[in-house]
């Protein structure tokens, strides 16, 4: 299935993300399933698209001044809004894979300090 996904995912950073997420899913208690691998491929492809959007934002900026006859107005770069949408979608997909910190049910860390020794 990996080779199938790599036909679509060509960016090196997105491929590294794909491999890391597959490894993280495989370390989970129930391992990685085919649906999980499909979600991982979507997250990696979204990362590839985000890189293209970031390149556009760095080239054109966050917007530009436009002229229409005597009128002058500011037009936002739509790549910025699209980038935010992809980032939010990735966050939701990582949550679905149980790879976000909130979903990982981390153990509480006991801190040894003298707070209890202070008088009330």
Question: What radius of gyration, in Å, describes the C-alpha atoms of the chain?
Answer: 22
- Dihedral sign for Cα atoms in the order 50, 56, 57, 63: negative
Phi-psi region of 44 (alpha: psi -120 to 50; beta: other; left: phi over 0): alpha
> Which CA distances in Å does 104 have to 42, 68, 99, 118?
21, 53, 6, 34
Q: Mean pLDDT over residues 69-87, rounded?
A: 91
For residue 42, the tally of other CB atoms under 10 A from its CB is 17
The tokens of 64 are what? 């530009």
Residue that is written with structure tokens 């590294």 in the block: 16
φ, ψ at 23 (rounded to 5°): -65, -40
As a whole number of angstroms, the distance between CA 13 and CA 55 comes to 14
* Confidence (pLDDT) at 110: 52
For 39-76, how does the pLDDT look when each residue is reduced to its tens digit (9 = 90+)? Answer: 999 999 999 999 999 999 999 998 888 888 889 988 89
pLDDT, one tens digit per residue, over 6-19 is 899 999 999 999 99
Of 37, 36, 43, nearest to 14 by C-alpha is 43
Stated pTM of the model? 0.73
Q: How much is the mean pLDDT over the chain? A: 85
């Amino acid at each position: 299935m990996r080779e199938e996904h790599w036909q679509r995912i060509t960016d090196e950073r997105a491929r590294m993300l794909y491999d890391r997420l597959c490894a993280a899913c495989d370390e989970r208690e129930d391992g990685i399933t085919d649906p999980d691998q499909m979600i991982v491929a979507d997250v990696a492809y979204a990362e590839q698209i985000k890189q293209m959007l970031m390149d556009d934002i760095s080239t054109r900026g966050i917007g530009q001044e436009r002229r229409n006859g005597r009128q002058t107005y500011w037009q936002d770069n739509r790549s910025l809004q699209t980038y935010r949408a992809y980032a939010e979608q990735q966050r939701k997909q990582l949550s679905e894979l149980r790879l976000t910190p909130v979903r990982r049910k981390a153990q509480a860390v006991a801190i040894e300090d003298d707070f209890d020794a202070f008088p009330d």
